[in-house]
Structure 1
């Protein structure tokens, strides 16, 4: 067989019976009879989704009686077989086909589109405004859990940006932010040491999705539950030709593009790639069983502690014996003030808390008198330099005085807050 014949794309097609009923079993019988290397995703209430391998020439990849690949069944021919059974097989359009459809719509309804474009906004929205009470187009809130190496500072900023409370918990060099929002959102990062950031989004309806912010600003999207119930039409273990069986298995396991997304992240040993693939693999092919279990397995593949994963993804919220902290939106000035008061211990990535600067900062917070003595000494040096004749010395002295006064002010506020 030629390379042109082996090259194919997996098309996500839909099958309906016209009466709105579930036609999955009838579609599966047709595909099994023709021995098509297809898969059934499931019925969504209107149509059954089918995965079909189609070559660039428009032929469906199937098997002959011995298990070898055959390409003598066209996509149009398969649609005819479905039509004979009283079903309609809808295949996705290629890019050039979509262009043709757009051209036909423009030719037929171009004048209508122009009239709508020129119509006043108040006329277009009249019917909607009469019935809309502010909730007609309101999006459903999404439950978000962000796992990363960040300290609490970004949780404060996230709460203010999204105007929603953010819960914070950390464990073994990892942290989780939990919040609920109906706004467009994205993870806030201060440095590459904060990454990877695994953002789990669980909507009220529909499949959860995960956005991973990896090294060098690379981002990838994953839908662990999208292919959960996808099942092969043919029994893979009963295919006589091993090459055909392996091709079928790879087609089903790589249809969602998870492997390509992992390669794009380029995280190396920082992630268990096999565990991520199992979390996204269909259950029928050995994937993790259960929707919440798949999300947990996906996050754990990055090395996040199991206890933190459970705390971040459970329905009850962060309840870890009072260790969790909650940050509420308070206005930008209070937020900036809180970040400044917290100091380096909150802004440094969790993996760098053992470095000398962070350890020294913690020591000064535990011993405020030592911090005050150092600030007074810095102030004295600054005053002395500021009285000198050297222009450079006076400039350095002024900076030292300003820094010392700021440190003393921060120290005083911390003492008053105790």
Structure 2
């Protein structure tokens, strides 16, 4: 069977030792001995993660002595090889095996989950069901603050909403046609967009523990999640360059570079040339296969693949450069701040050079001129409101209302400049 005719999936599975020791060397030895097209990640203190290709029929994809593909190694046989070494390979649960797992979970935690559905239950009611029994243990389940940097084309208006929604301080910085919102939160959050011109939005989330992740929202509103550091230390158990059959070597290489689905997720964003796919893939690729070296450098390279300036990436991730601080002041002041900001703060950074945006900035610098224009609008509205035409009176009333609102805004701006 040729490489093009193979239908298999890469299974991420864990391997544990009975005594809790690091089984990495044994895992690599067993998989390499069977010449399985596999890869492993470093020991995390509990288990080693292995990437093992398995066909739809339950056969492990491996090589023979000449480098040709073979399919005579079953999942159960591979599990037995690990068991002979005192290791547990969690691979190939049959339907009855899954039923046994479900039954075990139901027996241990079923009653606890039923009680969680009752709104009157207290945490103490869950003692004895594997749930925490004191305040110290309950702290383990509290959400930890995440450091967030949102890169986009948005001006400061959405930073005001973000600060109010999450009750946190947001630092706003910009560089050319790109901006970054920088904040910390322990709440569920999502980027706020006013339309296609604000995108793409690249939201980098850096937790206190664990790998950072990136959520990208394209101008079309499509979203995808990425973990640039997930495959950082993944390494193949076989030397690709020593595989005798070029087709087998290419299959192995493709499996290792595309197993995490990054290319498919990038394609789903439908951003075309707006993203450098090769650069983004390099930021997610294993270091042993030529990927970007260093966890922080991988994050920066991934964000840079979308065209974000390096200086803004540095400011967003390093938290050293001081920006414009936006704080939560309540919904009234927040809405008022957005209204006072007007077009200057609402216009996407890519549209700042358009005539309307340039006029808005000019009037913002000369509020007296802006107030004069609003006064002229008021006079025109009053005149039209006295028209005999119903349409003219309607337009006049609307002009009066708009002018009065604009005059009030200009008065506030003039007073704040003093």
Does the C-alpha gap of structure 1 residues 179 and 274 become closer, same or farther in structure 2, counting only changes over 3 Å?
same
Does the C-alpha gap of structure 1 residues 271 and 13 become closer, same or farther in structure 2, counting only changes over 3 Å?
same
Partner of 1:209: 213
Partner of 1:68: 68
Partner of 2:376: 377
In the TM superposition, residue 388 of structure 1 has moved relative to its aligned partner by 2.0
Question: Are 2:41 and 2:234, in contact at CA under 8 Å, matched by a contact in 1?
Answer: yes
2:171 corresponds to 1:167: yes
Determine the C-alpha separation between the residues in 2 that align with 1:107 and 1:335.
48
Partner of 1:157: 161
Of stretches 389-398 and 218-227 in structure 1, the one that deviates more from structure 2 is: 389-398
Of stretches 102-111 and 271-280 in structure 1, the one that deviates more from structure 2 is: 102-111
Residues 84-163 of structure 1 aligned to structure 2 (within 5 Å): 84-91=84-91, 93=93, 100-101=99-100, 104=103, 121-122=120-121, 125-126=124-125, 127=127, 131-132=134-135, 135-163=139-167
Of stretches 400-409 and 204-213 in structure 1, the one that deviates more from structure 2 is: 400-409
| Deviations, residues 185-204 of structure 1 (Å, cap 9, x unaligned) | 00000011111000000000
In the TM superposition, residue 390 of structure 1 has moved relative to its aligned partner by 1.7
Does the C-alpha gap of structure 1 residues 130 and 114 become closer, same or farther in structure 2, counting only changes over 3 Å?
closer
Partner of 1:43: 43
Question: Are 2:351 and 2:357, in contact at CA under 8 Å, matched by a contact in 1?
Answer: yes
Partner of 1:337: 336
Partner of 1:21: 21
Out of 298, 306, 315, the position equivalent to 2:302 is: 298
Determine the C-alpha separation between the residues in 1 that align with 2:97 and 2:267.
30
Determine the C-alpha separation between the residues in 1 that align with 2:106 and 2:306.
52
Does the C-alpha gap of structure 1 residues 14 and 153 become closer, same or farther in structure 2, counting only changes over 3 Å?
same
Out of 287, 291, 297, the position equivalent to 1:287 is: 291
Determine the C-alpha separation between the residues in 2 that align with 1:385 and 1:225.
64
- SS in structure 1 of the partner of residue 149 of structure 2: strand
Of stretches 84-93 and 19-28 in structure 1, the one that deviates more from structure 2 is: 84-93
| Deviations, residues 37-77 of structure 1 (Å, cap 9, x unaligned) | 11011211111111101111111111111111111111111
Out of 227, 232, 255, the position equivalent to 1:228 is: 232
| Deviations, residues 178-217 of structure 1 (Å, cap 9, x unaligned) | 1000000000000111110000000000010000001321
Partner of 1:52: 52
Question: Are 2:3 and 2:247, in contact at CA under 8 Å, matched by a contact in 1?
Answer: no
Q: What TM-score do you get using the length of structure 2 for normalisation?
A: 0.93
Question: Are 1:166 and 1:178, in contact at CA under 8 Å, matched by a contact in 2?
Answer: yes
Does the C-alpha gap of structure 1 residues 287 and 329 become closer, same or farther in structure 2, counting only changes over 3 Å?
same
Q: What TM-score do you get using the length of structure 1 for normalisation?
A: 0.93
Of stretches 116-125 and 7-16 in structure 1, the one that deviates more from structure 2 is: 116-125
Determine the C-alpha separation between the residues in 1 that align with 2:117 and 2:391.
65
Question: Are 2:76 and 2:92, in contact at CA under 8 Å, matched by a contact in 1?
Answer: no
Does the C-alpha gap of structure 1 residues 117 and 396 become closer, same or farther in structure 2, counting only changes over 3 Å?
closer
Question: Are 1:150 and 1:194, in contact at CA under 8 Å, matched by a contact in 2?
Answer: yes
Question: Are 2:39 and 2:235, in contact at CA under 8 Å, matched by a contact in 1?
Answer: yes
Give structure 2 stretches of 5+ with no counterpart: none
Partner of 1:276: 280
Determine the C-alpha separation between the residues in 1 that align with 2:260 and 2:392.
64
Number of corresponding residues: 412
Of stretches 173-182 and 3-12 in structure 1, the one that deviates more from structure 2 is: 3-12
Determine the C-alpha separation between the residues in 2 that align with 1:97 and 1:275.
44
Does the C-alpha gap of structure 1 residues 112 and 412 become closer, same or farther in structure 2, counting only changes over 3 Å?
closer
Let me know the Cα RMSD of the aligned residues: 2.4
Question: Are 2:172 and 2:325, in contact at CA under 8 Å, matched by a contact in 1?
Answer: yes
Give structure 1 stretches of 5+ with no counterpart: none
In the TM superposition, residue 2 of structure 1 has moved relative to its aligned partner by 6.4
